[in-house]
Each structure stands twice: as C-alpha cells, then as structure tokens.
Amino acid sequence: MSTEQPGGDGEKRAPEPTGVDLARVALRAAKEQARARGDAARQKKQARGGGLRSGARADGRDPLALGAAINRLINERGWEAPAAVGGVMGRWPQIVGDDLAKHCVPQRYDEDERVLSVLCDSTAWATQLRLLAPTLVARLNEDLGHGTVRMIKVNGPGGPARRYGPLRAPGSRGPGDTYG
C-alpha cells in the first residue's frame, strides 16, 4: 500500500483514519462544534446585556494552564497514540520489569507501521525479548489501546567494524594509497 499521490509528485499524505481513530476524530469534531455553538450563544447573550465584560467567572478568553494547553493540542492534532507510546518509553521498567529493562531499551516507534523498535545489549537478551514479544505486544495494547503496537522489532548489539577482508592487503590505507 503506497501513500504517494497518483500525480507522481512524491509527496506523502497522512494515512486516512480508520476504526477507533475515525470515531475519535468524529467525536472531537462534534465536541468542538458544540463548544462553538455554546460560545456563540454566550457571546450573543453578553452582547444583549451591554457588551462583553470581564468578570469573576471563567470564559473562553482566560489563559490556560500549561498542562491543559498541551492536552488540548494533543487532542486537536490527534497525537494521542504517539503521546501514549512516548509515555510507555518513560515507564518501560514498570511495563517489562526491572531485569528486562536493564538490558533492553525502546529506541523508536513507527506510527505508520505501528512497530516498536527495541535495542538489547546482548544476543541472549534479544532472544529472550523475541520470545516475550507476543505477551509484551498484548500488554502494550491493553495499556495504550487496541492496535497501537502491532509488532516489536528486536535489535541485538552491533558487531565490531569489519576492517579486514579477503580483498584487503595488510597495512594498506584504503584506495587512497593506490593512486598516490
């Protein structure tokens, strides 16, 4: 499935929301419309009563607390899943346990593929995590919402850089020493 437009300009579009995500978007839009209707009615009532006045009661012009502003931004932009996965990365030891958390660290989350990449410090722990992956995916989806994580990609430690090969002469400095 390609997300490129048929025009061939190579620009990628965001995937269309489906299922639960589509319901969240529709609910958010309905809440915003209801809030806008309520604000319009309140402003109309205030205009009849002598214009907009400042008062002791909260209205739409009051400043928001930082946490409320961030939550509002997350909800408006539809960033609930990435924010939840970011929270998982912060709570990784509580989710997987201290022993596994000491040796395996989440690296990144691919929202399009719904894949969580995890780096392990040894091949033994990478194998252990691969065996625990289905249980861990179920636990993450229970915590984050169904379908948020489809798969865990386990990466083991990288090997040392390969310096010598069958076509390399000992003591050479690479292709630069051939030409001067």
Q: What pLDDT, on a 0 to 100 scale, did the predictor assign at position 96?
A: 83
Q: What pLDDT, on a 0 to 100 scale, did the predictor assign at position 154?
A: 92
Q: What pLDDT, on a 0 to 100 scale, did the predictor assign at position 131?
A: 93
Predicted TM-score (pTM) of the model is 0.50
Q: What pLDDT, on a 0 to 100 scale, did the predictor assign at position 14?
A: 58
- 161 — phi, psi (to 5°)? -65, 135
Q: What pLDDT, on a 0 to 100 scale, did the predictor assign at position 20?
A: 74
Q: What pLDDT, on a 0 to 100 scale, did the predictor assign at position 166?
A: 66
Q: Consecutive 10-residue runs of the chain (180 residues): their mean pLDDT?
A: 48 63 81 77 65 66 81 80 73 85 88 87 91 90 81 84 64 57
Q: What pLDDT, on a 0 to 100 scale, did the predictor assign at position 1?
A: 47
Q: What pLDDT, on a 0 to 100 scale, did the predictor assign at position 64?
A: 78
